[in-house]
Chain A
């Protein structure tokens, strides 16, 4: 069956450390993978997109990797801050031209001051 898995338990880290969130999928072949941030009571906000032929993408303190062999994406936030506390969602963006996304359930990140 098709699955997208993100850590269901919250990730609790100290300010200044690097947060690493995982997104694993099975029986999908995405052309792209996207990461979103969601704060309580708000809609998801787009952060980064990585293509299947890209190994790594960076934006400021954010880094995403995409391994199509392992069927896994890792999302890193370096020098984490309490303001980074939120739920982070990965989304598979398929090879068709539909722009339809399939979202994981999200991982909640808590950054302690």
Chain B
């Protein structure tokens, strides 16, 4: 298996633009997690899915953030409109048991 795949790896955008981050989890994993990592706040859970259904989105910072999982092999995290304070590394992770497998992350810079 190729592991968790994320795209793009880097994204630079201007304030106010829409940003879409993509994730392909490991095949067979029932859970998918979206995290954000910054120096100030560390690794924060934004939202997670079980069998494609959103279970807990309490970590999503604002209505500007939304996430979907239309099928077992694909998820998106969208920010609209983006703001400079959204600059961070966004990770997707999946699990089938307990340990989580992380993707390489998307480094987002909002100018």
Q: Is the CB of B56 within 8 A of A100?
A: yes
Total interface residues in chain B, CB < 8 Å: 21
Q: Which residue of B lies closest to A103 (CB)?
A: B43
Q: Report if A43-B103 is in contact (Cβ < 8 Å); known contacts: A98-B55, A103-B42.
A: yes
Set of chain B residues within 8 Å of A34, measured between Cβ atoms: 98-100
Residues of B in contact with A (beta carbons under 8 Å apart): 4, 31, 33, 42-45, 48, 55-56, 91, 93, 95, 98-105
Set of chain B residues within 8 Å of A101, measured between Cβ atoms: 33, 45, 100
Query: Which of B31, B43, B55 is in CB contact (< 8 Å) with A44?
Result: B43
Set of chain B residues within 8 Å of A46, measured between Cβ atoms: 99-101
A13 at interface, CB cutoff 8 A:
no
Residues of A in contact with B (beta carbons under 8 Å apart): 32, 34, 41-46, 49, 89, 93, 98-106
Query: Which of B45, B91, B99 is in CB contact (< 8 Å) with A43?
Result: B91
Q: Is the CB of B98 within 8 A of A89?
A: no
A84 to chain B, nearest CB (A): 19
A68 to chain B, nearest CB (A): 17
Q: Which residue of A lies closest to B9 (CB)?
A: A41
A104–B93 alpha-carbon span in the complex (Å): 17
Query: Which of A45, A100, A102 is in CB contact (< 8 Å) with B48?
Result: A100
B68 to chain A, nearest CB (A): 19
A93-B98, A99-B95, A103-B42 given. 16 additional CB < 8 A pairs?
A41-B104, A42-B105, A43-B4, A43-B93, A43-B102, A45-B102, A46-B101, A49-B99, A98-B48, A99-B98, A99-B100, A100-B33, A100-B48, A101-B33, A101-B45, A103-B43
